[in-house]
Amino acid sequence: MMTTPAVLFVCLGNICRSPLAEAAFRDAAARAGVDVTADSAGTADYHIGEQPDPRSIATAKRYGIDISHYRGRQLAMDDFDRFDWIVGMDRSNMRDIERLRPANSRAKVAMLMDLVPGREGAEVADPWYGGEDNFIYTWEDVSRGAEALVAMLR
């Protein structure tokens, strides 16, 4: 019997990229008929308990997904036991994840775009300082990453 894969998406503040990645992953998994557990977290403690950025909420809504109930949280040591995959959005996130990662962790750690053929090494750009277009580009990137990860989990 296969267990339900558990995936944690990680960015800096857990209000822009990682909530969108979580939403895109849940959506891709549901469309593929793959049962998953998903969550998101930030490497920093800037937005604990807060809703995603209003622009992230609006972007997800544009694709028919409500993330307004998501709440920011910080990456924790026990996440390395609770999740099969911990997926960062950029190199800075990856350094922070690796710094916190226990030596005996069995969780797979990856940068999201490394899972997308032809996009290896690319980062999901932080849309925080940009406008609506930046959030759409972020959605497109995290959606590609989510689709690739779901395909790997099938």
* Segment 25-56, tens digit of pLDDT: 999 999 999 999 999 999 999 999 999 999 99
How many domains in the chain?
1
Give the active site residues. 11, 17, 126
* Segment 80-113, tens digit of pLDDT: 999 999 999 999 999 999 999 999 999 999 999 9
Phi/psi for 109 (5° steps) reads -120, 130
pTM as predicted:
0.97
Task: Please check whether residue 141 lies inside any domain of the structure.
Answer: yes
User: Which one, of 134, 127, 55, lies nearest residue 89 by Cα?
Assistant: 127
Task: Please check whether residue 113 lies inside any domain of the structure.
Answer: yes
Task: Please check whether residue 1 lies inside any domain of the structure.
Answer: no
Task: Please check whether residue 139 lies inside any domain of the structure.
Answer: yes
Task: Please check whether residue 82 lies inside any domain of the structure.
Answer: yes
Task: Please check whether residue 45 lies inside any domain of the structure.
Answer: yes
Domain limits at 74?
Answer: 6-153
User: Which CATH number does the domain housing residue 21 bear?
Assistant: 3.40.50.2300
